[in-house]
Amino acid sequence: MCELLRAVLDGDEKADLRQLLDQLRANHRDQYFLKNQILQAFEDYCNNYQKPAYFSRTSALGELIHYTHEIILEKESVWFIVRPKIASQDICRLPTDLSRVESMPVEAWLNLQDRFISNKTTGLSDSPNGHEGTVATSNVLEIDVRPFYESFPTIRDPRNIGKGIEFLHRYLSSQLFANTKSGRDNVPSQQWLEAFLDILQRSEYEGTPLMINERIHSTTELSQQVKRALTFVGERPADEPYEQFRAKLQVLGFEPGWGNTAGRVRETLELLDRLIDSPDHGVLDAFISHIPLVFRIVLVAIHGWVNQEDTLGRPLTASQVVYVLNQARSLEKQLQEDIKLAGLDVVGVQPKVIVLTRLIPNSEGTKSHERLEKIHGTENAWILRVPFPEGNPNVTQNRISRFEIWPYLESFAQEAEKELLAEFKGRPNLIVGNYSDGNLVAFLLARRFKVTQCSIGHVLEKPRYLFSNLYWKDLEEQYHFSLQFTADLIGMNGADFIITSTYQEIVGTPEQWGQYESYKYFTMPDLYHVVDGIDLFSPKFNVVPPGVNERVFFPHTQSSDRDSSKTEQIKSLLFTHEDSQIMGYLDDTSKRPILALASLYPSKNLTGLVECFGQSPDLQERCNLIVVTGKVRPEEAKDSEERGEIEKFQQLIDQYNLHGKVRWLGLRFTTPDSGEVYRAIADCGGIFVHPARFEAFGLSILEAMASGLPTFATQFGGPLEIIQDGECGFHINSTDLAGMAEKLLQFISRCDQEPNYWNEISQRSIKRVHDKYTWKSHTKQLLGLAKIYGFWNYASVENREALLRYMEALFYLCYKPRAEQLLQKHMQQ
């Protein structure tokens, strides 16, 4: 039961709560209120009734309102969703006389939302008689994954959510060594040790056995032979190559994979010896990092233009393609290092990374029609393109929107299975899905191959579109959320582990729900109720942020790595060059430049930045605004959203008379040129502004910071964790235009007063990225996760199998029928 509500009802502020609710009923047509509306209504109430300053925050009612995220008003009841702490919600119902408070189950809340939507649709203002407040479920499917997680270990402290691998190391070490603590045989412990031995015995590469051979039959023999092998390698020079004593180790039961020198072999065997005899999660972590278990990796990225060079990703999907290609390069490099250290290069082990995407016959000048393309800067990393094998050629021969791609994913996975087997000459060891569609395909492939699956959501659409689940029927024709949200549930629950870029991507902040948290429970009226859609405390969640390509995005002061002619060319484009794809000119190019670089879509809020600039004469007097987008003309827009933003941009320039103060570049810079764009602005003491309304992570923010450009980014989403406000950049509320302008001006003024201040922020930005956001760190963590979760899920396969079967049922009962309906529509186009 919600203690915050009880405190108000039992205290002196009950009358204030009643008046606030009466105010909501009287002043608003809608009876469903979200956090921002609730906060605004409370602020208005405090002002109208001249409440003292402390009342809005420290009173019992103020505290309740601060933690209230949703309110629904019915004729006879008031419902509250109160979130007193991260990842924990209370559903409470009060009668209109506020005489008591009841704690309500999730099912009741979902039924209430269904009634609300039904009433809105039929035009009724109140609930039907006899139905208000009932708990009985509607005649729809209920999805509940909670029973499947009950047998899994769980994190208890919300602060440790996203640190799954740390938790799992501790848990596994305690399981492996339960018998050493009890002093007697322990069956679970023996089970885990035998599973560990089995994994080492099964290790192979194209038929070549690795790690342990048939001479070792039991965990007891393993312990004995490890000690013998340690004595043997301990007598040899540390730098002696493995090949010189390989045969002797094989007689003892050990195949290649322990190290490339006697010293490395001894180090790895010592870790295993300690792992068998002593309970220590740190040793488990170190041993797992030493042994080679992953050689072949698939990265699934379907809906974007997965290309290289100047066509990289196209504007809408450029960031995801940059991410996936950089990840592929880094994974191959790390695998090569690991294989060499393990001594496997001498037996011909070679890593291979494949980015799996779709083949697009009408490729519009890209290489999307080519089946196989080597990834630049790699030895054995490839883009493998597989066509959609069914449907209307008018649809499948062309690029398909991420909202329309769903009917083709099952057959794509079936064809991809054949292609991957041919390319790898065997099964992959790890499949990594990207976005909703890629994660569904990764689930289907991982089930077929019986290998470890990683899920990376990047952006989940459900929390991006307000009330998208409640009004899914109205949005279905355009967005097909019934398919997307079902795919998300399957992908995230089916995955062995989930990677997020930030903590708040999982569980948000005290003020805002996390992206994954939004899948905890929700209704899609007349389709299904999700009573429990994801376990946020599961150790499958891990925060592993990406890095930046340090060869491309490096500090502007690193002059030895810069091409002076390219720098001058970029500066000319930014400041003076005339071109049909460049609009606007600058009266005074000596002013401090403000740079924004993104695609022109409402979520990126570039027009909000232009309006902010237009409303601030002080900013106009002291700065120039330079905005880089993919297009500047409405007729070039791909859809109505982009067209609307282009037209709004043009209108704002005229409305605020920004001629001579704004440069608008509709150019597509290559990735290397983008790095020089940031550095060119930094050369001029400029600023980078990322004004998105919400940003799941923000790769361009890292790129700008790595280049040494002081960065201002939205406080809503990933930038809240990337940037330490006032230290290595600044948070902005991009919906508060006046506040955003004021924060920019404060920085500029301080730079004028303290000549070294700009450089201080620049250097801290560079250090922040270098210390925390590197691809090497990302890749080492990812491979460590793949190994430990592979072991965990191998040893606990019976527990996971029930959940995976449940996800398969969801696929065939909910997803596939609706995908087939969409396919029939496509056939008629």
One of 3.40.640.10, 3.40.50.2000, 3.40.50.720, 2.60.40.3950 is the CATH number of 559-773, namely 3.40.50.2000
pLDDT tens digits for range 684-704: 999 999 999 888 788 899 999
CA distance 522 to 533: 8
Q: Is the pLDDT of residue 190 over 90?
A: no
What is the β-pairing status of strands 528-532 and 522-524? antiparallel
The whole-number pLDDT of residue 310 equals 58
Strands 430-434 and 452-456: parallel
144 bridge partner residues: 532
Range(s) for CATH 1.20.120.1230 in the chain?
159-290
The distance from CA 119 to its chain's CA centroid, rounded to whole angstroms, is 36
Could you tell me the two tokens for 233? Answer: 């390698």
Nearest CA-CA partner of 538 in 167, 820, 804: 167
Asked whether the beta carbons of 659 and 586 are under 8 A apart, the reply is no
Q: How confident is the model at residue 362 (pLDDT cuts 50, 70, 90)?
A: very high
Within the chain, all domains assigned CATH 3.40.50.2000 are found at 296-547+778-827, 559-773
Q: What is the pLDDT of residue 316?
A: 62
Structure confidence by residue, pLDDT tens digits, 648-658: 999 999 999 99
669: Cα within 13 Å, side-chain hemisphere: 24
Q: Please state the rounded mean pLDDT for residues 273-295.
A: 85
* pLDDT one-digit tens code per residue, 218-259: 989 999 999 999 999 999 999 999 999 999 999 999 999 999
Q: Could you give the maximum distance between any two Cα atoms of the chain, in Å?
A: 87
Give one word for 138, left, alpha or beta, with left for phi > 0 and alpha for psi -120 to 50: beta
Residue 368 amino acid letter? S
Residue 133 has pLDDT above 80, yes or no: no
**Are the C-beta atoms of residues 242 and 343 closer than 8 Å to each other?**
yes
Q: Residue 129: its pLDDT value, please?
A: 38
Q: Which of 421, 425, 456 minimizes the C-alpha distance to 441? A: 456
Distance CA 181, CA 227 (A): 22
The answer to whether residue 161 scores a pLDDT higher than 70 is yes
**How many other C-beta atoms are found inside a 10 Å radius of the C-beta of residue 301?**
29
pLDDT for the residue 576: 93
Cβ neighbour number for residue 557 with a 10 Å cutoff? 16
Assigned CATH topology for domain 296-547+778-827: Rossmann fold (3.40.50)
Contact (Cβ atoms closer than 8 angstroms) between residue 790 and residue 496: yes
Please report the pLDDT score of residue 197 as a whole number.
87
In angstroms, the CA 294 to CA 797 distance is 19
Please state the length of the chain. 829
DSSP code at position 512: B
How far from each other are the two terminal CA atoms of the chain, in whole angstroms?
53
Note the pLDDT of residue 364: 85
Whether 67 shows a pLDDT value over 90: the answer reads: yes
- DSSP secondary structure string, 281-340? HHHHHHHHHHS----EEEEE--SSB---GGGSBHHHHHHHHHHHHHHHHHHHHHHHHHHH
Mean pLDDT of 318-344: 92
Let me know if domain 3-139 sits in CATH 3.10.450.330. yes
Neighbours of 824 (CB within 10 A): 11
Q: Are 145 and 532 in contact (CB under 8 A)?
A: yes
* Cross-sheet strand order for the sheet of 687-690: 582-583, 662-666, 623-629, 592-597, 687-690, 711-714, 730-732
Strand partners, 382: 354, 374
Q: What token pair was written down for 198?
A: 């089995």
Q: How far is CA 81 from each of CA 4, 67, 93, 234, 801, rounded to the nearest angstrom?
A: 11, 9, 9, 63, 34
Q: Which strand (E) or helix (H) includes residue 432?
A: strand 430-434
603-611 mean pLDDT: 93
Q: pLDDT band for position 510 (50/70/90)?
A: confident
* pLDDT attached to residue 303: 87
- pLDDT value at position 315? 58
Strands of the sheet containing 372-374, edge to edge, are 372-374, 381-387, 352-359, 296-300, 430-434, 452-456, 497-500, 541-543
The owner of tokens 């139905």 is 131
User: For 192-222, what is each residue's pLDDT tens digit?
Assistant: 778 888 889 989 998 889 999 999 999 899 9
Q: What is the mean pLDDT of residues 358-382?
A: 93
SS3 538: coil
Assess whether pLDDT exceeds 90 at residue 322.
no
pTM of the model: 0.89
How far, in Å, CA of 240 to CA of 235, rounded?
11
Confidence band for 263, pLDDT divided at 50, 70 and 90: very high
Average pLDDT for residues 436-446, to the nearest whole number? Answer: 97
Range 35-46 average pLDDT: 92
What is residue 714's predicted lDDT score, i.e. its pLDDT?
92
Q: Write the CB contacts of 617 (distance below 8 Å, at least 6 apart in sequence).
A: none
User: Token pair for residue 459?
Assistant: 């952006």
Contact 312, 670 (CB under 8 A): yes
Flag the least confident range among 109-118, 184-193, 576-585, 795-804.
184-193
pLDDT > 60? residue 529: yes
Note whether 526 and 649 are within 8 A (CB): no
At residue 2, the pLDDT reads 82
Confidence (pLDDT) at 56: 87
DSSP assignment of 566-616 equals HHHHHHHHHHT---TTEE--BS-TTSEEEEEE----GGG-HHHHHHHHHT-
**Average pLDDT score over residue span 53-59:** 88
Cα(455)–Cα(496) distance, rounded to whole angstroms?
A: 8
Ranges for all domains in the chain classified under CATH 3.10.450.330: 3-139
> Which residues touch 678 (CB under 8 Å, ≥6 apart)?
553, 556, 595, 688, 703, 704, 707, 708, 709
The chain-wide mean pLDDT, for the chain, equals 90
Helix (H, G, I), strand (E, B) or coil at 541: strand
* Separation CA 528–CA 515 (nearest Å): 20
Write down the residue that tokens 């060059």 correspond to. 577
CATH number assigned to the domain with residue range 159-290, chosen from the 4 options 3.10.20.740, 1.20.120.1230, 1.10.3720.10, 1.20.1250.20: 1.20.120.1230
| pLDDT tens track for 458-508 | 889 898 888 999 999 999 999 999 999 999 999 999 999 999 999 989 998
Per-residue pLDDT, 663: 95
Residue 136: pLDDT band (50, 70, 90) is very low
What one-letter code names the amino acid at 469?
A: N
